[in-house]
Structure 1
């Protein structure tokens, strides 16, 4: 988890500090009192500090981002929650299904953040968030189901299509969109001579997707081209989509995929019912 540096009084005591030492550090400036039951050290995250000063805690998508989970959107919007009194005074706070709960750490843990995110996002975005949680082994699918027990049935059903093999949220989104079109797609497929590919449609259409955080070096760019050349030698087609292509230009990207599928070019001639021995997948 990203370094926070904001603590409750109980958390400071748990580190071994005494009440006297806490008061002394507040006087010397080593600790800064942000408000009721919240203290920060000199290296504390300023976004979390500002939320704590208002008596709230970082939650929902922002908290999940702090835990390293892929979330949709940008980091500019700060998702936060409060106690029961706070919800009577402010409307810009995230909520979970059911009653508000007590405020503990300055940043919610993954289960609490997920419960609040479940009310903020729908469809493929919720699937992508849960995929990321599974991929990073922060929770199991059974634990996610338990935390989502109070969510509407439509959202709980989305858990049936989650896949922890997905390496990025954009990959999850593309998988959901293609399957909604009744297109057969496999995730993180290992192909001999090429390596692991993000998605494989049919027998021979490889789809590689760049995540928002992915920045190519010259070496990475050349490796991508090498893989594409090798794929072509082995009879595969390759489409590469950027983060922008998935999030804002999907109509064009989807059109490319659909054109290939309609023409049957995603399938090998004469081997439609055979298995390519070069292909292995964790989730056939």
Structure 2
């Protein structure tokens, strides 16, 4: 047989012991590969390449596959900035371990935050042996997460084109009636997680917005209230610690140019950050409402 790393790589980076033995690997060779660091054994009966995504390894240690928001990140979907590990396990699974120690029982661990899902999902394939399928992932998010987080996640799936009308119908047939509104509120035009959250929170207080409104066929506005109140929403990764001063300056200058362009065309621009949306929303909403109270969202044309 080919080398163990090559075989496991061809199978998605993770394989069960029984699969490797069936292909001709020996127990001695597997043990030697682990001792030398060529392979990892995240859990008894499973082997993985050291390059395998850490979240997959942690889920394997627990005894299942990534689920809900944890799986959503692997599909490139919008999720909260921080969340515990979500793992889907078979309904009858009982020997669950912690995500950091395959010898420590999850049921006996104090302070563990791992979220375990046991609902019925589609059978794993080579592409989904480490995570639940996309539709099951979205269903879990829409069922268990907050409404606005679920809307943001579905928004991003629509934007990426990974969720179509058939997928929406599949989700609608399985969602409880009280969660159907998530699909109704979803809009594939939302460009980021905080943008989706901002839109949802404005709608909650009766403020309607239009998304990604084109300006002169080139530039666009994240959220437009009324005729001319432009809300520009910056994502969490807009400015990061590893950015150089020159990169920060370039990004800031681009934002200022964009804002000045919109102001010159008669729009009133409010730029809000990820922090303002997620952690200072009451003050942010009050600011938007104060501007609207002055009629800044209405056209100046008589």
Match of 1:231 in 2: 262
Q: Residue 53 of structure 2 is aligned with which of 45, 58, 61?
A: 45
Structure 1 residues 46 and 176: alpha-carbon distance in aligned structure 2, compared to 1, 3 A threshold: closer
**Distance change >3 Å, CA 22–CA 230, structure 1 → 2:** farther
Shift of 1:8: 3.5
Give the match for residue 166 of structure 1.
190
For 1:81, the equivalent position in structure 2 comes to: 88
- Say whether 1:155 aligns with 2:163: no
Q: CA deviation at 1:192?
A: 2.0
Aligned residue number for residue 95 of structure 1: 117
Moved more, 47-56 or 86-95: 86-95
SS in 2 for 1:167: coil
Q: 1:184 to 1:54 in 2, by over 3 A?
A: closer
- Offset of residue 54 of structure 1: 2.7
Which one scores higher on RCO, CA 8 angstroms, separation ≥ 6? 1
Deviates more, 1:179-188 or 1:141-150: 141-150
2:284 counterpart of 1:253: yes
Whether contact under 8 Å (2:63, 2:95) holds in the other structure is no
> Which of 126, 129, 133 matches 2:153?
129
Please give the TM-score of this superposition, normalised by the length of structure 2. 0.76
Secondary structure of the structure 2 residue equivalent to 1:207: strand
Aligned-partner Cα distance in 1 for 2:172–2:31: 40
Indicate the residue corresponding to 2:24 in structure 1. 20
Q: What are the superposed Cα offsets for residues 221-243 of structure 1, whole Å, 9 maximum, x if unpaired?
A: 10111121222222111101111
What per-residue deviation string (whole Å, max 9, x for no partner) do you get for residues 71-90 of structure 1? 02415x21112111237977
Unmatched tracts of structure 2, length 5 or more: 1-8, 97-105, 108-113, 240-246
Q: Secondary structure at the match of 1:238?
A: strand
Give the gaps of 5 or more residues in structure 1: 272-284
How far apart, in 2, do the equivalents of 1:182 and 1:60 lie? 30
Q: Verify the 8 A CA contact 1:59 1:108 in the aligned structure 2.
A: yes
Q: 2:42 aligns with which of 9, 25, 34?
A: 34
Q: What secondary structure, in the 3-state scheme, does the structure 2 residue paired with 1:239 have? A: strand
Residue 267 of structure 1 pairs with residue 298 of structure 2: yes
Which deviates the most, 248-257 or 77-86?
77-86
- Partner in structure 2 of residue 145 of structure 1: 169
Distance 1:190-1:261 versus aligned 2 partners, 3 A rule: same
CA deviation string 1:11-46 (max 9, x = no partner):
978xxx971157646643444343355320121223
Task: Confirm or deny that 1:221 pairs with 2:252.
Answer: yes
Q: CA deviation at 1:186?
A: 0.5
Q: Which residue of 1 is the match for residue 3 of structure 2?
A: none
Specify which of 134, 141, 146 is matched with residue 110 of structure 1. Answer: 134
Q: How many residues align?
A: 264
* TM-align CA RMSD: 3.0
* Structure 1 counterpart of 2:14: 7
* Whole-angstrom CA distance in 2 between matches of 1:155 and 1:27: 51
Contact map agreement 1:175 1:185 (CA 8 A) in 2: yes
The alignment status of 1:55 with 2:63, answered yes or no, reads yes
Alpha-carbon distance between aligned partners in 2 of 1:126 and 1:5, rounded to the nearest angstrom: 28
